[in-house]
Amino acid sequence: MTEIKLGIAGLGTVAQGVLALIRRNGALMAQRSGVTLRVVRIASRREKPGVDLMGAQFSTDLDDLVSDPDVDVILELIGGEGVALDLIRRALASNTPVVTANKAVLAAHGNELMSGPGKQQLRFEASVAGAIPIIQGMSGGLAANRLDSLFGIINGTCNYIFGEMESNGTPFDEVLAEAQRLGYAEADPSFDIDGVDAAHKLTILLALGFTGEYDLSAVHIEGIRHVTVADIQFAKELGYKIKHLGIIQNTAAGVEARVHCALVPSNALLANVNGVMNAVQIISDGAGETLFSGPGAGGEATASAVLSDALALGKQFSTGNGIGVDTQASETTQAPSPAILPMAEVTSANYLRIPTLDQPGVFAQVTQALSEFSISIDAAIQHEASASQPVVDIVLLTNNVVESAMNAALERLQGLDIVAADIVRLRVAPAL
């Protein structure tokens, strides 16, 4: 039996989940893996008297984790970039392995951390999709495959908001407030609802499965603020559900990497992933279509992934490789990174909700404007306006259109005198 002594940075929800799982399932982990986990030191900004530290020493100085010779593995669970990045750098430089759930650090600094000292001793299963073993799945189970595409619901807050808007007809702002009350969204929810959190995660998946490069700037990012209950209802009429997706596709022209709302066919697997659940669907040449689904956030769900990495490091130690020894060959042969396709060159079908004045000839003016850019209409909805409703929505599904042409068409449409408010444009997800 190998004992691994853990030092934990942070004492928030995930750290408390780690303590709870070790306390409850430590014996089971040891039985399955041959590794015993013991927490010997915890460092956090402040102590929490109600939390059982399991006999670990507590301090407010993160340096104690790196300098303590008893600490075999550091669990970085404080989040953010500044302090967390510094801790990871110093730990790896001292040959102390690190397990992190920090997607922001990896998205912004992954290239540095994966090429520096101790690069084989940084593990980050918990950085994407909580309890779902998507990192292990891509780097292990699917390692023999060429990945053709990846579609992910990788932000539980957005998924919860859309689900409540669909089920109850509750406006966006009210659902967001309820998500904050329930703890699904932060007091400042912008990282979630503006797509940044999902983009951090997609950057990691993009590097692992497609390009080998951590480049957040390569990901096109859009959030969910512009989607209304009306859009969700119109999408349902058309046979779709609206999901906030991370999308990666290998194409002949390059790799697409984008985060935005998308219409997903109602009978597709991803369309039926509800609440705060996450799911990642991967299509590869050998394994075909695989779906990974489960809780994408929460203390014990994320802690489960953190501890899976700690146990994997313990197994590595037990085989004689040793923790803190870089087991990667000094030189590796890597295929050149494929080019990222600019968003302007991505092709997709589109959903348009065009608020127009209720007057004769409106539909013809809209279709004429679209035809100027060789855009055709695959489906349309135009409900009759009531006497008290001077504006009526025209809802269209277009054919597949290159992004640059669609953007030019939208500018043309928005300038029409008959268009009474901002047009809502959503893309249709590629075939799922």
What's the CATH number where 10 sits? Answer: 3.40.50.720
* Same domain (yes/no): 162, 288: yes
- Residue 384 confidence (pLDDT) above 70: yes
Give the strand pairing for 424-428 and 254-265: parallel
In which band, very low, low, confident or very high, does the pLDDT at 297 lie, cut at 50, 70 and 90?
confident
Does 88 share its domain with 120?
yes
Under 8 Å CB-to-CB from 180, ≥6 apart: which residues?
A: 186, 187, 189
**What is the pLDDT, as a whole number, of residue 323?**
52
- 421 contacts: CB under 8 Å, gap ≥ 6: 355, 391
- Please say which residue of 263, 295, 327 terminates a domain: 295
Regarding whether 207 and 103 lie in a shared domain, the answer is no
Boundary-marking domain end, from 284, 318, 352: 318
- Residue 202: CATH number of its domain: 3.30.360.10
Task: Give pLDDT tens digits for 180-221.
Answer: 998 888 889 999 999 999 999 999 999 999 999 999 999 999
* pLDDT > 90: percent of the chain: 83
186 and 55: one domain? no
Q: Work out the average pLDDT over 33-53.
A: 94
The residue segments making up the domain with residue 385 are: 344-428
Domain count, the chain: 3
In angstroms, the CA 207 to CA 59 distance is 36
pLDDT reported for residue 335: 62
pLDDT for position 1: 87
- Looking at the predicted structure, is the pLDDT value of residue 117 above 80? no
> Position 228: which residue type?
T
In a domain, 51, yes or no: yes
Q: At what angle do helices 156-168 and 172-182 cross, to 10 degrees?
A: 130
pLDDT band at 329 (very low <50, low <70, confident <90, very high): very low
Question: Do 288 and 304 sit in the same domain of this protein?
Answer: no
Considering the domain architecture, whether residues 255 and 351 belong to the same structural domain is answered as no
In percent, how much of the chain has pLDDT > 70?
A: 95
Q: Annotated catalytic, 201?
A: yes
Instruction: Give the pLDDT of residue 328.
Output: 35
Judged against a pLDDT cut of 80, whether residue 341 lies above it is answered with yes
In a domain, 63, yes or no: yes
Confidence band of 431 (pLDDT split at 50, 70, 90):
confident
Handedness of CA 202, 205, 211, 216 (dihedral sign): positive
Copy the structure tokens of residue 422: 């901002």
Q: What is the mean pLDDT of the chain?
A: 92
Higher pLDDT, 375 or 337: 375
> Is residue 193 domain-shared with residue 287, that is, in the same domain?
yes
Please tell me whether residues 82 and 153 are part of one structural domain.
no
Q: Same structural domain for residues 102 and 41?
A: yes
Look at residue 349 and tell me if it is in a domain: yes
Q: Is 82 in contact with 108 (CB distance < 8 Å)?
A: no
Which residue did the predictor score with more confidence, 162 or 79? 162
Looking at the predicted structure, is the pLDDT value of residue 322 above 60? no
Neighbour tally for 236: CB within 10 Å: 13
Average pLDDT over residues 27-51: 94
Domain assignment of residue 338, yes or no? no
The contacts of residue 190 (CB under 8 Å, 6+ apart) are 196
Spatial separation of the C-alpha atoms in residues 33 and 355, rounded to whole Å: 60
The Cα 133–Cα 30 span in angstroms is: 20
Query: Which residues sit opposite 340 in a β-bridge?
Result: 255
Structural domain contains residue 119: yes
Q: Where are the alpha helices (DSSP H) in 296-376?
A: 299-318, 362-371
The model's pLDDT over 53-67, given as tens digits with 9 standing for 90+, comes to 999 999 999 999 999
Query: Taking residues 334-346, what's their average pLDDT?
Result: 86
The 3-state DSSP class for residue 102 equals coil
Are residue 271 and residue 313 in the same domain, yes or no? no
Q: What is the DSSP string of 165-190?
A: HHHH---HHHHHHHHHHHTSS-SS-H
Same domain, 353 and 234: no
47 backbone dihedrals φ, ψ, rounded to 5°: -80, 150
Task: Please report, for the domain that includes residue 400, its CATH number.
Answer: 3.30.70.260
Catalytic residue among 103, 201, 241, 243: 201
Nearest Cα residue to 257 out of 334, 375, 332, 346: 346
Phi-psi region of 95 (alpha: psi -120 to 50; beta: other; left: phi over 0): left
Taking each continuous run of H as one helix and of E as one strand, the counts in the chain are 13, 18
pLDDT at 118 > cutoff 70: no
Q: Are residues 162 and 181 in the same domain?
A: yes
Is the Cβ–Cβ distance between 95 and 117 less than 8 Å?
A: yes
pLDDT bucket at 321, cuts 50 / 70 / 90: low
